[in-house]
Amino acid sequence: MIKEKEKYKLKIPSKTDNLEIIRSFVSHVAELVGFDADETYKIELAVDEACANVIKHAYEKKDTNHQIDLVIEIDVQKLVIYITDQGKGFDVEKVLNKNVKEYLAEMRVGGLGIHLIKALMDEVEFISKAGEKTQVKMTKYLMKNGQLESIAKE
């Protein structure tokens, strides 16, 4: 069990081959904090979605020499993940204001990842400006109402 705040970092080339390494890194840290298998799976999937969005949308295709920065902060209560890229940014409001039904109706794939991230994590924040770095901050609480989430669910 973690007694005080700790930080884990991964800096990795922005390519789909590396999603496997990213998932493995995240799930190991989540298990270390004490999340059960079900919650760990949700965290792993949310991070996969955020990183896949970076790989697909953040950088111009011809430019392959880019990195994703992943920072995980953990303490006794929660796990906070920061995913940062230096890509072209996106219009956060535009993406977040669409609901999943609109994406499905348009048969578009792009917004599904963001919808999943919001459904899987407790708190999600996107910070992005066109042409500047983009950061996704996502939080998962280990304790709910003073209880371990795995116990609170029962």
Instruction: Please identify, using beta-carbon distances, which residue of 48 and 74 lies nearer to another protein.
Output: 48
The distance from CA 56 to its chain's CA centroid, rounded to whole angstroms, is 15
Scan for tokens 């910070």, then name that residue.
Answer: 127
Minimum gap (Å) between residue 143 Cβ and another protein: 23
Instruction: Please identify, using beta-carbon distances, which residue of 57 and 137 lies nearer to another protein.
Output: 57
Distance CA 150, CA 31 (A): 13
Instruction: Please identify, using beta-carbon distances, which residue of 42 and 142 lies nearer to another protein.
Output: 42
The candidate with the shortest Cα–Cα distance to 70, out of 12, 122, 127, 15, is 12
Minimum gap (Å) between residue 34 Cβ and another protein: 20
Minimum gap (Å) between residue 109 Cβ and another protein: 3
Residue 94 CB burial class (10 angstroms; 0-12, 13-18, ≥19): exposed
Q: 111 near 98, Cβ under 8 Å?
A: yes
Give me the residues that bind another protein (CB under 8 A), please: 16-17, 19-20, 23, 41, 45, 48-49, 52, 55-56, 100-101, 104, 107-109, 112-113, 115-116, 119-120
Distance CA 109, CA 95 (A): 12
Tokens of 6: 């700790």
Instruction: Please identify, using beta-carbon distances, which residue of 6 and 38 lies nearer to another protein.
Output: 38
Minimum gap (Å) between residue 1 Cβ and another protein: 26
Instruction: Please identify, using beta-carbon distances, which residue of 76 and 104 lies nearer to another protein.
Output: 104
Minimum gap (Å) between residue 56 Cβ and another protein: 7
